[in-house]
Structure 1
Amino acid sequence: MDPSTELFERIGLSVALGLLIGLQREATGAEFAGLRSVALVTLFGTLSGLLAGHFGGWVIVAGLFAITTLLVLGNVMQWRGRVADVDPAISTEIALLTMYGLGAYIAFGSFVIAVVIAGVVVALLHFRQELHSLVGHLAAGDLRAIMQFVLITFVVLPVLPDRTFGPLDVFNPFEVWLMVTLIVGISVAGYLLYKVFGGNAGVLLGGALGGAVSSTATTLAYARQAREGLAAGLAAVAVTLASGVTFVRVALEVGVVAPRLLPAVALPLGIMLALTLGGVGLAWLRVRQKGGRPPLQQNPAELGPAVTMAALYALVLVLLAAAKTYLGSDALYVVSVVAGLSDVDAIALSIARLANAGVVAEDAAWRLVLVGVLSNTVFKVLLAGSIGGRALLVRVLALAAPAFAAGVALVLLLPASGAQ
């Protein structure tokens, strides 16, 4: 690329990102950081970065000192003018300093990373009330569990050995715990959304958010409500929707662990999700009303369940490897059925891990994942019926049957691609 063209692109990106953050600040009534100010600060950072390439890094430091001085003077003038009305929050000042640093980075760095950083900044600024609301919804136990998630991810994970052990050469402590952090991370994200919206959630939102945390726990909770008097149609909608969220969750897990396998898995899961949502939508039109309590969810970042998840994942991984080695590839389907009954995350991640390592062919891998999902669906239908009664069983079965039948048909009838 021509150097002058690249230079203009960097300057243009700097101004565009500055205008984006400035637009957000001016729209929310920031005192001294509006559309032009933030854009100019970002552009000044880019200019400092360009000059630093010729004169040394001290130029960036000097620019940072200049911006900081201006911010201090601006705040001092506000304090002197109207002490009682000054907002003690410093998010605008931090945003300006961040945009200066981003501007300096744009002078020589990656455009993609710059856009991501700007996106994070604008999201943090714009969703201020939602973030504060989230903190207000978290109890002391929730904060403790989130700190445990930090322990799981950033303390335990780095110290685990990153090599395989055992006769089948598949047990890697680092990879096992990495899969646990992935599962817990997805669940924590759903749990935080649940804490914000769950208190006022209707059946649809309760089922969707509950499924993001634990579809099995959500099924159990709404089945109990059905037994206590909640209309079976409403409970069936929530239970089936929670199962539909599982399809998205599995696709996300496979996409992270084995991106090449994702297209093969996404097609059948997408068909099943569409059929599930269609049935839920029609059922909701018939029982359209709010009712029922959102199910109580346990925080998924607790250390005990994480250790259990690690053990289960490792066990499934070893069983799959042993079945393939000693019993042949067909035995993998038996393991998928059995493992899927208890935890669909473990079987999905195990298959994705083996497929990514080349142990299981891609064409067999997506079928094995789908078999685990189908097995888990059967388990949740039976769980709903055993707890919620015959009326709930009939309605959940009617809503889940089209997606289940489609999944079985895809596993049995879709021709092999020949992928090895």
Structure 2
Amino acid sequence: MIDPVIINFAAALGIGLLIGAERERRKGDGPARASAGIRTFSLAALAGAAAQSVGGMPLLGIVVAGTAVLCAFAYQRAAAKPDHDPGLTSEIALVLTPLLGGLCMQRPALAAGIGVTVAVLLAARTPMHAFVRHALTEAELRDALMFAGATLVILPLLPDRAMGPFEAFNPAKIWIVVILVMAIGGIGHVAVRVLGVRYGLPLAGFAGGFISSTATIGAMGHRAKSAATRNAPVAGAVAGAVLSTVATVLQLALVLAATNLPVLQHLTVPLIFAGLVAVAYGAAFTISALHQAEDSDEKPGRAFRLTGALVFAAMLAVILLASAALQHFYGTAGVLAAATLAGFADAHAAAISVASLQLDAQAAAVPILAGFTANALSKAVFAWVGGGRAYALRVIPGLVLVAVAAWAGLLLV
């Protein structure tokens, strides 16, 4: 059996060769060539691995510091050449290489993953520069920074516990809704940039439905309202909103399959009916969008609007407060009332709560569909507030038809 230490050294050598091979291609020739290539990076990775193996963290720190000093001298020499901008990419990569070599002695898989990521970032220099300088607009960059701040800065600071009146609010979970709306808006924006309004919005809506159909309807509403101000067609946004309901039906089937298979078998026909109606209604608007000309006034602009996401989260918080107040004052008058209240926030939560109870399939079907219908009602409210009258009058009939189809399927059963 091969000694694990040898495998770790081989991983370190592989990292050095991988990063060094990429740098060797950009090293250049003649007096202006860079100072580090494939051999230098390979030796640096092995030096880091040997230092960690022999002397631990102190010796590894000395090796990394020595590498940094040598990089500083090399950079100073390159900067002294006339009409030459040396940059710092190779120097930073060279300092990182012995660190990765040392990490190979403890966590070789993590070190290898980081090494591959470094090599990919180095190799993707030209397309990344072109994307940031020419494809990415200033507004899109601001939106990306805003999304990163909302996700990586604000979310970890919020308490993840029930609080407020009737303990109806969980600040972290409500802020996750804000992040979801922003993310879905960003997905739709990228899809539109790549595929155009006719193809991008329906696909983005269907994909976003697996994250949150309600949030998708809100995000598509914001885009539809923006299009309506320019007298542009809103069929693409409507198609995306309705197709997100298809994802809801699919997820509901998966949830029931995981929690209570007999209930799923009893609800197979209602779910099929609801899914087919959602597909047909969404397909009608998708076809309408495909036959419409692209919006010539559509600008790259903003990926999302934070105010719209905050309004959406505030509406959800009001629904949660109302549900909690009803439960506090009147109690859960049976499973049906509890499922209906839960459905205003999430159809899957209502289905899980009912399917987890010791009920026969027939008794569980009605509360689950009640939650599904309540969720459609909350989506209708969000569609009206988020997208305006023109958008809502197209989306709400689809939501109603989907809910009616589900109940019709249950009656047939």
Cross-structure match for 1:318: 324
Does 2:196 correspond to 1:205? no
AA aligned opposite 1:45: G
* 1:315-350 superposed Cα distances (whole Å, 9 cap, x missing partner): 27736965995322221332244x2xxxxxx43696
Give the TM-score of the pair, scaled to structure 2.
Answer: 0.62
Cross-structure match for 1:240: 239
Cross-structure match for 2:58: 58
AA aligned opposite 1:104: G
- When residues 224 and 328 of structure 1 are mapped into structure 2, their CA distance, relative to the original with a 3 A threshold, is same
Q: How does 1:8-407 map to 2 (within 5 A)?
A: 8-22=6-20, 31=34, 37-51=40-54, 55-81=55-81, 83-88=82-87, 90-109=88-107, 111=109, 113-114=110-111, 117-118=114-115, 121=118, 125=122, 126=124, 128-129=128-129, 130-131=131-132, 134=136, 136-138=138-140, 147=149, 152-154=154-156, 156-157=157-158, 160=159, 176-192=170-186, 201-208=196-203, 214-219=216-221, 221-222=223-224, 225=227, 230=232, 235-245=234-244, 276=279, 280=283, 283-284=286-287, 287=290, 290-292=293-295, 293=298, 298-300=304-306, 305=311, 308=314, 311-312=317-318, 315=321, 318=324, 326-337=332-343, 339=344, 346-347=345-346, 374-375=376-377, 386-387=389-390, 397=398
- When residues 282 and 135 of structure 1 are mapped into structure 2, their CA distance, relative to the original with a 3 A threshold, is closer
Q: Could you tell me the percent identity over the aligned residues? A: 18
AA aligned opposite 1:300: L
* 1:202-233 superposed Cα distances (whole Å, 9 cap, x missing partner): 332245557857432423643785797655xx
Secondary structure of 1:86's match?
coil
The whole-number CA distance in structure 2 between the counterparts of 1:49 and 1:251 is 51
- When residues 226 and 146 of structure 1 are mapped into structure 2, their CA distance, relative to the original with a 3 A threshold, is same
Alpha-carbon deviation of 1:75? 1.9
The whole-number CA distance in structure 2 between the counterparts of 1:366 and 1:148 is 34
RMSD, aligned CA: 5.7
- When residues 378 and 15 of structure 1 are mapped into structure 2, their CA distance, relative to the original with a 3 A threshold, is farther
Give the TM-score of the pair, scaled to structure 1.
Answer: 0.61
**Bigger mean CA deviation after superposition, 102-111 or 137-146:** 137-146
The whole-number CA distance in structure 1 between the counterparts of 2:128 and 2:409 is 45
Q: Contact between 1:153 and 1:181, CA under 8 Å: does it hold in 2?
A: yes
- When residues 385 and 184 of structure 1 are mapped into structure 2, their CA distance, relative to the original with a 3 A threshold, is closer
Gaps of 5+ in 2: 29-33, 209-214
Secondary structure of 1:330's match?
helix
Which one has the largest radius of gyration? 2
Alpha-carbon deviation of 1:85? 2.6
Q: Contact between 1:14 and 1:46, CA under 8 Å: does it hold in 2?
A: yes
Gaps of 5+ in 1: 340-345, 415-420
Alpha-carbon deviation of 1:387? 1.2
The whole-number CA distance in structure 2 between the counterparts of 1:410 and 1:284 is 27
Cross-structure match for 2:211: none
Number of matched pairs: 375
